[in-house]
Amino acid sequence: MNKSKIFLSLFLFFFVAFSARSGNENLIQNPSGRNITTLNGKWNYIIDPYETGYYDYRYKPYDESTNPGNGAFYLDKKQKNKSDLIEYSFDKSPTLWVPGDWNSQDEKLLYYEGTIWYRRLFDYAKKSTDHRIFIHFGAANYESDVYLNGKKLGKHIGGFTPFNYEITTLLKEEGNSLVVKVDNKRKPEAVPTLNTDWWNYGGITRDVSLVEVSKTFIQDYLMQVKKGSENLITGYVQLNGDLNQQTVKITIPELKVSTEVKTDSTGKATFSIKPKRIEYWCPENPKLYQVEISCNDNTISDKIGFRTIETRGTDILLNGKSVFLRGICIHAENALRGGRAYSAEDAQMLLNSAKELNCNYVRLAHYPHMEKMIRLADEMGILVWEEDPVYWTIQWENPATLANAMQQLSDVISRDKNRASVIIWSMANETPVSEARTEFLKKLAAHARSLDNTRLISAALETHSNPADPNERIVQDPFADYVDIVNFNQYIGWYDGLPEKCDQIHWTIKYNKPVMISEFGGDALQGMHGDALTRWTEEYQEDLYVRTLKMLSKIPQFRGVSPWILYDFRSPRRVLPNIQDGWNRKGVIGQNGTKKKAFFVLKNFYKDMEIKYQKQR
């Protein structure tokens, strides 16, 4: 091959390599508060279990270096003349709703794990010729490759976090062809790994939007009460575009405060504002302020609550007052539909049910939920635990796995850093103790604190029993030294003995930190009744709740609990016919929306805890 061809190949290789972005570099804060056009709706799709659209017969990717951007076959090519051979047609293929998992949209796809190619045609005329256009995805599970008009925009890994790509130079006024390859195959090196106890819903599972912005626009911003202060609001604004010095104005009209700051050579400006008084956000009064950030012709507004969260000894202090987290765990699923939650209505259904339980807090397990859920929690006054999907047996010694977990954590912190409801970042769930695991989690916690030093760090830590004393349970996890809240799951009475065993157990937890229990519970098929020793009955689950809450209340540092789980949810691991049928039945609300007896045990317990903590104020 002559020198010029070698140079061209190398150039194209590096061009394509760097152009295959992950979509996280310029994550746009608060896309729904901008000039957006939705691409939600029916998209054509091609199911591709053999990766025919991505690999040639040698199972090698179509050669990007010689054909940049066309690293795939299913790129919506059209037959130009009668002799052309094209063995697919999006136009003639069926459709799926976006957003939405594919599993619950078609019986044939319920258990499908593999690749599906989506295609959406759209026209778009910019409102101003010098504006820029981005395409924003709320999430796609698990791995997505995005192409516009035959050119690759990038590859994103991670099934629960947002990503966006600039498409300004590729966009046409008419006939744009957006092709998205989504692959939800589970992999040992992935985050989460091969084994989980939830349904592997695949697809473009959250909103897709076009975002039109000025040539230089406010891409990102942070506003929160500075750690350790009471009414100093600090933050930053990040511009994207012309990086010459610009003036940015930040205003909170209701507090009659504003400030103007200059951006630095990276387009970033930090600021602080000290209002005379702030009405703190809290569950009893979820006060949100309209904030406005402007730079030249670009203005973005948002609704932000201001509060402080910290621990002091064994107390969790919200706005300086001790709080008990009356919680429940929630999967991002609408059990009544049997699919991944994606809509405002889904979020409302889930959080309304939590409110009915007298909850002031929810643990959003085991991965970042949709942004709508967090924004609604802000409005409803519900405190939130958000979790990185580092679940069970992750590949602790794989650097790519650590980088993946860090990226997903960075993305959820970036997306939700302005949400007052979020008070805890969880690093992991039930991860067997080893040196490699603890080193992995320590790195993750350090990364989280470097991004956000105001919120609390926790995880579902490991517990163990004492061989010398069958009634002693011990929480002594090496990672406990690196978290703010000592938290763990425990299933005494379901996986470990019968509910009466709870009466004998005593806990040894030698940490001067708040203690929370992020999971306990047992299965009950809604409407199945019997005595309290008959498995799967509502009476068994009810008795388990009564005894567990009594046991946990003996722990001196007990400051919060989130039983597993609000609604029954799909899991391929739960196969008992006529009882589970592919569902985990630990919900306090059944798959059909009926409240089980345990629901009322928990509701009453929380009512008592609410009164107890109000008296302490």
Q: Does 429 bind ligand GCU (CB under 6 A)?
A: yes
Q: Does 387 bind ligand GCU (CB under 6 A)?
A: no
Q: Does 490 bind ligand GCU (CB under 6 A)?
A: no
* C-beta closer to ligand GCU: residue 115 or 489: 489
Q: Does 416 bind ligand GCU (CB under 6 A)?
A: no
Q: Does 584 bind ligand GCU (CB under 6 A)?
A: yes
Q: Does 197 bind ligand GCU (CB under 6 A)?
A: yes
Minimum CB–partner distance for residue 429 and ligand GCU (Å): 5
Minimum CB–partner distance for residue 564 and ligand GCU (Å): 6
**The 208-213 sheet, strands edge to edge:** 35-38, 208-213, 132-137, 163-166
* C-beta closer to ligand GCU: residue 423 or 517: 517
* C-beta closer to ligand GCU: residue 491 or 613: 491
Minimum CB–partner distance for residue 182 and ligand GCU (Å): 24
Minimum CB–partner distance for residue 121 and ligand GCU (Å): 39
166 burial (CB, 10 Å; 0-12 / 13-18 / 19+) is: buried
- Is 596:590 a contact under the CB 8 Å cutoff? yes
* C-beta closer to ligand GCU: residue 246 or 458: 458
Residues binding ligand GCU: what is the number (CB under 6 A)? 9
Minimum CB–partner distance for residue 115 and ligand GCU (Å): 26
Q: Does 519 bind ligand GCU (CB under 6 A)?
A: yes
C-alpha to C-alpha distances, 44 to 32, 91, 97, 141, 301, nearest whole angstrom: 25, 7, 9, 18, 35
Site for ligand GCU in 317-376 (CB under 6 A): 366
Q: Does 430 bind ligand GCU (CB under 6 A)?
A: yes
Q: Does 199 bind ligand GCU (CB under 6 A)?
A: no
Q: Does 586 bind ligand GCU (CB under 6 A)?
A: yes
Would you tell me how many other CB atoms lie within 10 Å of the CB of residue 501? Answer: 16
Retrieve residue 415's tokens: 């997306």
* C-beta closer to ligand GCU: residue 366 or 597: 366
Question: Which of 341-344's residues contact partners 24+ apart within 8 Å by CB, and which partners?
Answer: 341/369, 341/370, 341/373, 342/99, 342/100, 342/138, 342/205, 342/206, 342/207, 342/370, 343/99, 343/372, 344/372, 344/376
Would you tell me how many other CB atoms lie within 10 Å of the CB of residue 336? Answer: 14
Query: What residues have CB less than 8 Å from 129, skipping those under 6 apart?
Result: none
* C-beta closer to ligand GCU: residue 275 or 582: 582
DSSP string for residues in 423-456? EEEEEEES----HHHHHHHHHHHHHHHHH-SSSE
Q: Which DSSP helix (H) or strand (E) runs through 95?
A: strand 95-98
* C-beta closer to ligand GCU: residue 408 or 489: 489
Minimum CB–partner distance for residue 544 and ligand GCU (Å): 13
Minimum CB–partner distance for residue 585 and ligand GCU (Å): 9
Minimum CB–partner distance for residue 483 and ligand GCU (Å): 17
Minimum CB–partner distance for residue 432 and ligand GCU (Å): 13
**DSSP3 helix / strand / coil % (the chain, rounded to 5):** 20, 30, 45
- Beta partners for residue 464, in sequence order: 474
In whole angstroms, give the CA distance from residue 346 to residue 349.
5
Q: Does 489 bind ligand GCU (CB under 6 A)?
A: yes
* C-beta closer to ligand GCU: residue 196 or 353: 196
Minimum CB–partner distance for residue 227 and ligand GCU (Å): 30
* C-beta closer to ligand GCU: residue 165 or 564: 564
* C-beta closer to ligand GCU: residue 296 or 580: 580
Which residue has the closest beta carbon to ligand GCU?
197
* C-beta closer to ligand GCU: residue 298 or 537: 537
Minimum CB–partner distance for residue 499 and ligand GCU (Å): 16
What amino acid occupies position 136? H
Minimum CB–partner distance for residue 15 and ligand GCU (Å): 43
Q: Does 48 bind ligand GCU (CB under 6 A)?
A: no
Q: Does 224 bind ligand GCU (CB under 6 A)?
A: no
DSSP string for residues in 470-539? EEEEEE--GGGGG-SSEEEE--BTTTBS-GGGGGT-EEEE--SS-EEEEE----B-TT----TTSTBSHH
Question: C-alpha angle with apex 312: 306 to 315, nearest 5 degrees?
Answer: 85
Query: What residues have CB less than 8 Å from 311, skipping those under 6 apart?
Result: 317, 456, 484, 485, 513, 514
* C-beta closer to ligand GCU: residue 425 or 564: 564
- Is 414:371 a contact under the CB 8 Å cutoff? no
CA dihedral sign, ordered 434, 435, 439, 442:
positive
Q: Which residues bind ligand GCU (CB under 6 A)?
A: 197, 366, 429-430, 489, 519, 564, 584, 586
